[in-house]
């Protein structure tokens, strides 16, 4: 379920404006965990 891709990838701008593409719920979750530093 979590590995299913989104209908359209989500693009998040990080740091100094670098795009990062999130394709699945797992990608999004891992991004939030890494970004928050937990």
Q: Which domain holds residue 21?
A: 5-36
Q: Is a pLDDT exceeding 60 seen at residue 38?
A: no
Q: Per the structure, how many domains does the chain have? A: 1
DSSP string, 1-38: -TTSEEEEEEEEEETTTEEEEEEEHHHHHHHHHHHHT-
- Quick one: average pLDDT of 12-32? 92
Backbone angles phi, psi at 2, to 5 degrees: -75, -20
Residue 37's pLDDT is what?
A: 61
């Amino acid at each position: 379920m979590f590995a299913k891709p989104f209908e359209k990838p989500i693009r998040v701008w990080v740091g100094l404006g670098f795009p990062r593409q999130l394709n699945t719920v797992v990608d999004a979750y891992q991004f939030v965990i890494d970004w928050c530093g937990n």
